[in-house]
Structure 1
């Protein structure tokens, strides 16, 4: 298998056919370029045939000449890919490359999957270090961008079975919202996006959440709309109460962003909206739905994200553990300094 860069002139549809996740899609790469990042697309080729594609974004470290590479939600990186990334890292002055594969831990323990992915027998994700080859320094990331757990819904079941599998409180809240007159509309257009944006930033302000700015979200929407991204809105009469931005990629739906109003909170609009989001994705041909992160299945009610996890858990999905987040360390000394500075910054922000 030969590893090669993928040019801008490449067929986006062919590229997407060899990726796992919307954050590896051609459209996501275009969005990240427009936010000011350099992107590198590369793939595994058998002759002229592209077998697997990968997207890496490069992030400048402020006030330095260094960069960080990030490969979100890809497949497993082979030795050949790691060699290729080392070469790129030298040219781009990269400290480390973070990669967060979209691989479930249950898959990696399956011998058939391991053979199919051509994994080394030395691969052991439960240890502190993951070393496919002593040449590469790959460690568990101290600063993952994704949670290690998510909740996956099986949408291949009938709508009746999906309803029966809901937690009683969730089912009650859905029916309450319907009784109150809440209804759901897909509005994957300019008007719908603007409603979503207003509710999303109203929510981030209310919850003191520091995320991306409006320009970032508009760039993502402009590049992903209709092909990947869809907007669903919960209304009471003519008033929007809650809005979600969903991704649909291949046979899986994803809950990515959501926002809600402070008005009529006792109408449980968000409960109905999530239910209708599942049905919407099912009707679009999805067989699974990823809730985009959660705490572990043994989470404590005192955890800061317990409420959000409890909300997602109410839909009857399965807690699913990913294999984790890893850093391919290129410059060991600078990497240690970076981690110290990162930890210090987080400490200062908490004061």
Structure 2
């Protein structure tokens, strides 16, 4: 095996988008968006002969005091065809090689979020020790709900919780309509997002972040879905389509007309459109960990999402490989405060 830099979109997306449950954070388009935000991007391919078997899109993040680290969101991605023993070899070899590159440019640490589920690597504990991997505070959600949408619409509806199915039909009867918006509709999303974060007491990105995404990502990659009732937008979702998976990225809703259940119909229309795109998977992008209880901050949204199906996926999580250990200790101490 050897590691090479990837310089063209066809090579990178040809691999990443062809993997089941394609990871949009590893796509060429997402890397370009981060570049235009000011982050240097490094793209690496893991090769076995002339066949690519792994990809890592890495973001270079600057810190105060001229320090920096490398971060591969939901990456590296590995070929789903690799056998267990080859996957473990590939995982260790690829991470070690990227770590060497990070060390060469003076990075404080390498942070990765492999697109692998817990249990995919039999010898992960051994690899963890050899590479000096440290589990870190999550950046992307380690637990999510990914729905197999290959069955028919009737079958998908039949697998939903009875109350979810009822609320979809209720929204249709009440006259809720769904459309895909454009950049001119972003102020409506921002207003709903502010209302949602205030009501539910959680943090969100600033409007400038979402404006940047719409300026830099293709129209068929990032979409804004809007639910309207009696002439008003009462719910809005940001959705990403890449490879064979549609991802529900962010959502917001109004306190007005909550009894018409617009968010339920919004999700269902997004799933229907994903099927029309021939996607096989729909990612609800983050749920509370299993057995976390009703006190978890995501308990409510998890119940809502699980109404559509219950296929939990637990990734390996956010993993750090410290390269400058004293500085890394200082950084993590400050980050915990």
What interval of TM-score do these two structures reach, taking the shorter chain for normalisation?
A: 0.7 to 0.9
Structure 2 residue 110 is matched with structure 1 residue 97:
yes
Q: Distance in 2 between matches of 1:53 and 1:148?
A: 19
Structure 2 residue 155 is matched with structure 1 residue 161:
yes
Structure 2 residue 266 is matched with structure 1 residue 269:
no
Aligned residues: 320
Choose which of 15, 32, 43 in structure 2 pairs with 1:41: 43
Deviations 1:10-62 (A, max 9, x none): 2x133211124110111101111111212111212456664432211111122
Greater Cα shift, 313-322 or 39-48: 39-48
| 3-state SS, counterpart of residue 171 of structure 2 | helix
Hey, what does 2:135 align to over in structure 1? 140
| 3-state SS, counterpart of residue 156 of structure 1 | coil
Alpha carbons of structure 1 residues 79 and 316: separation in structure 2 relative to 1, 3 Å: closer
Deviations 1:70-128 (A, max 9, x none): 1111225634323332332223321211111122235x06xxxxxxxxxxx6324xxxx
TM (norm. structure 2) is 0.87
**8 Å CA contact 1:230, 1:245 repeated in 2:** yes
Q: Distance in 2 between matches of 1:300 and 1:219?
A: 36
Choose which of 275, 290, 303 in structure 2 pairs with 1:297: 290
Q: 5+ residue gaps in structure 2?
A: 17-21, 79-89
Q: 5+ residue gaps in structure 1?
A: 110-120, 125-129, 345-351
| 3-state SS, counterpart of residue 202 of structure 1 | helix
Query: Shift of the alpha carbon at 1:333?
Result: 1.9
Structure 2 residue 224 is matched with structure 1 residue 228:
no
Q: Distance in 2 between matches of 1:13 and 1:214?
A: 32
Q: Distance in 1 between matches of 2:323 and 2:220?
A: 36
Choose which of 211, 217, 224 in structure 1 pairs with 2:204: 211
Q: Distance in 1 between matches of 2:205 and 2:36?
A: 14
Q: Distance in 1 between matches of 2:300 and 2:129?
A: 41
Q: Distance in 2 between matches of 1:13 and 1:226?
A: 19
Alignment of 1:195-210 (within 5 A): 195-210=188-203
**8 Å CA contact 1:67, 1:92 repeated in 2:** no
Query: Shift of the alpha carbon at 1:287?
Result: 1.0
| 3-state SS, counterpart of residue 67 of structure 1 | strand
Alpha carbons of structure 1 residues 104 and 329: separation in structure 2 relative to 1, 3 Å: same
Q: Distance in 1 between matches of 2:283 and 2:156?
A: 15
TM (norm. structure 1) is 0.84
**8 Å CA contact 1:137, 1:330 repeated in 2:** no
Alignment of 1:279-298 (within 5 A): 279-298=272-291
Structure 2 residue 249 is matched with structure 1 residue 256:
yes
Choose which of 328, 334, 337 in structure 2 pairs with 1:341: 334
